[in-house]
Amino acid sequence: MTITTGIEKKADVAAPPAGARARFRIGRTAKYALLVLFLIVVLMPVYVLVVTSLKPPQDVNPATSWGLPLRWPWESVAPGGPTGFDNWSIAWEALAPAIGRTFLLAIPAALISSFLGSMNGFVLSRWRFPRADWVFTFILFGMFIPYQAIMTPLVQMKTGLGLPSGIGTLLIVHIIYGLPICTLIFRNYYVGIPMELMEASRVDGAGMLRTFGSIVLPLSLPGFVVTIIWQFTSAWNDFLFALFLSNQREGPVSLALNNLAQGAQLANYGAAMAGALLASLPTLVVYIVLGKYFIGGLMSGSVKS
């Protein structure tokens, strides 16, 4: 004789039926299969870049771009001829100076525009001066003006002010055009900070700048992660501003990569593919290292006033 306890009866009642479990497994399998399919589609261009960069020039053919290399990357078609690894050497020699210049552009642009955007966001979220909403709206206009529409007056202004063509001018432009998005992100983020912290600092005699530096700024790490990643990527990948406001000798990596691709258009696709991979590595590393913080920062800044 078996005795069934009340706990066992509740467990039996709570257990899902076999049909529900089967549907759950099918749904989970379909979800993962769909994710794998999306991953394959996204990585297909990367696969073509990698395999083409490892082929010597004689083996590169658009008709067989999906095929694996016919020989090892260190082997050449003819004795003493170019190898697949030579593509990376050619790309590095062509892009190395420009990569260094682009770091000098992207890092300061990301840090300065993020800090200025945090100050703007704090003032616009916590200091309700007259027409504050109008000021915020005018700042946001910069996000919706196409860059192509202001290139001619921008070049004319650069020429009129006597600014040189190079990284310095690009740095100023990226800082200015990064302020609207940085201001928006920080304003929405600071709205979620409890007002009691501000009132406590005011009771202690702290002014606006001290409150911002001692209380608000230490809490702003998620917002800074988002804006720094955004601005770093925008400055690194920019081509339009670089084309109009710099030159080949003093421009960023996007211009150097364009020259490499045009120069290798008829001779060496592999070097162009290797250059594209080298140029994309810094932004890829940034997203791999800070990706989870980026998502968290976006969620933290999703509070709307």
Residue 150's Cβ-side half-sphere holds a number of Cα atoms within 13 Å equal to 12
Residue 52, in any domain of the structure: no
pLDDT at 262: 73
CATH of the domain at 153: 1.10.3720.10
- The string of pLDDT tens digits covering residues 22-55 is 777 888 888 899 999 999 998 898 898 898 888 8
pLDDT at 5: 52
What are the backbone dihedrals phi and psi of residue 76, each rounded to the nearest 5 degrees, phi first?
-110, 160
Residue 195, in any domain of the structure: yes
pLDDT at 15: 58
* The two structure tokens encoding residue 150: 């202001």
Residue 221, in any domain of the structure: yes
- The string of pLDDT tens digits covering residues 103-149 is 999 999 999 999 999 999 888 887 777 777 788 888 888 888 888 88
Residue 96, in any domain of the structure: yes
Residue 212, in any domain of the structure: yes
Beta bridge partners of 76: 83
pLDDT at 197: 74
pLDDT at 304: 45
Taking the model in full, what pTM does it have?
0.81
pLDDT at 305: 42
Residue 144, in any domain of the structure: yes
What are the backbone dihedrals phi and psi of residue 2, each rounded to the nearest 5 degrees, phi first?
-105, 145
pLDDT at 105: 95
pLDDT at 265: 46
Instruction: Please report where in the chains the tokens 């966001």 appear, as a residue.
Output: 121
pLDDT at 181: 92
Residue 140, in any domain of the structure: yes
Structural domain span for residue 93: 85-300
Residue 77, in any domain of the structure: no
**Counted domains in the chain:** 1
Nearest to residue 91, comparing CAs of 48, 52, 61, 63?
Answer: 52
CA atoms of 117 and 178, how far apart (whole Å): 8
| pLDDT, block means (10 residues), the chain with 305 residues | 50 61 81 92 89 83 78 71 80 92 95 94 82 83 84 90 91 93 90 76 74 82 90 93 88 89 65 90 87 67 47
**If DSSP states are collapsed to H, E and C, what string results for the chain?**
CCCCCHHHHHHHHHCCCHHHHHHHHHHHHHHHHHHHHHHHHHHHHHHHHHHHHCCCHHHCCHHHCCCCCCCCCCCECCCCCCEHHHHHHHHHHHHHHHHHHHHHHHHHHHHHHHHHHHHHHHHHHHCCCCCHHHHHHHHHHHHHCCHHHHHHHHHHHHHHHCCCCCHHHHHHHHHHHHHHHHHHHHHHHHHCCCHHHHHHHHHCCCCHHHHHHHHHHHHCHHHHHHHHHHHHHHHHHCCHHHHHHCCCCCCCHHHHHHHHHHHCCCCCHHHHHHHHHHHHHHHHHHHHHHHHHHHHHHHHCCCCC
